[in-house]
Amino acid sequence: MGKALKSAGYFIDEVYSRTHKSAEKLAKELDSKPVVQLDHIAPNADLYLISVPDNAIGNILSEINVPGRLTVHTSGSLSMNVLQKASKNYGVLYPLQTFSKDKSLDFSNIPMCIEANSAANEKILMRIAGDISQNVKLLNSAQRKTAHVAAVFACNYANFLFGIAEEILREHNLPFELLNPLISETARKVMENQPHTVQTGPAVREDIETMEEHLEMLNDFPEYQKLYSLLAEALIKNHKKKGKE
């Protein structure tokens, strides 16, 4: 997000990190100054952007001292109110996307989920988010947490299923690339349709024979066997429910 802000014309004064190395690396990319002690950061910035793992924010907030300055976190699952500790002006800028360390993403389509503790702060965050993305949404903490759980299923767990597929193929010396067109099409389909209306496969057909054969083939992967069964079961149940709606 630092890079996206910089590209949009924002000046990033300082970059804090616990280690010199990572503070320097990011500061260099952002034409900024590295800081490794929180009590050394400049006290008069317009915005303090805290983007750390959820379980690290507690320490940051107890060390940072910027009373009154707009302080923002970028987490999907943390309540906005955790920031009360740091400042009386606070909010959230949550980019609903999956990030890789070594790959910069185009932010223009990423949903920026905004929340702020006052209308004035909301306006500021809306403007900042709008400068880096065309897809800005106002979400309160409960909605943001809901979006985050949904994202765990649609991204983290979907990726885990891709990994299971890869492992099964590798075990039989088949390349994972074989599934590329299938994965693309699966993702494309749900952009245009409700997922349950385009559901295919043996479970939705209740093709017991094929599912039993699949379970047998998964004998070497007891964990995936269990997942296969539970997913099939939930899918069948869900499909019956949808059919009745």
The pair of three-digit structure tokens given for residue 179, joined into one six-digit string: 């599934």
At 104, which amino acid appears?
A: S
Q: Which is nearer to its own copies, 5 or 203 (CB)?
A: 203
Q: Closest by alpha carbon to 49, among 71, 69, 65, 30?
A: 71
Extract the runs of DSSP E, i.e. beta strands, from 65-129.
70-73, 90-95, 112-116
Q: Which is nearer to its own copies, 36 or 179 (CB)?
A: 179
Looking at residue 103, what DSSP letter applies? B
Q: Which is nearer to its own copies, 42 or 178 (CB)?
A: 178
Residues 30 and 90: their CA atoms lie apart, in Å, by: 24
Q: Closest by alpha carbon to 239, among 203, 215, 207, 208?
A: 203
Smallest gap from Cβ 114 to its own copies, in A, equals 13
Smallest gap from Cβ 245 to its own copies, in A, equals 11
Smallest gap from Cβ 65 to its own copies, in A, equals 25
Smallest gap from Cβ 200 to its own copies, in A, equals 5
Q: Which is nearer to its own copies, 41 or 96 (CB)?
A: 96
To the nearest 5 percent, what fractions of the chain are helix, strand and coil?
55, 10, 30
Smallest gap from Cβ 153 to its own copies, in A, equals 4
173: left (phi over 0), alpha (psi -120 to 50) or beta: left
The pair of three-digit structure tokens given for residue 104, joined into one six-digit string: 């910069």
Q: Which is nearer to its own copies, 88 or 199 (CB)?
A: 199
Bridge partners of residue 113, in order along the sequence: 94, 137
Q: Which is nearer to its own copies, 120 or 217 (CB)?
A: 217
Smallest gap from Cβ 221 to its own copies, in A, equals 10
Residues 188 and 217: their CA atoms lie apart, in Å, by: 29
SS3 at position 76: coil
Smallest gap from Cβ 87 to its own copies, in A, equals 23
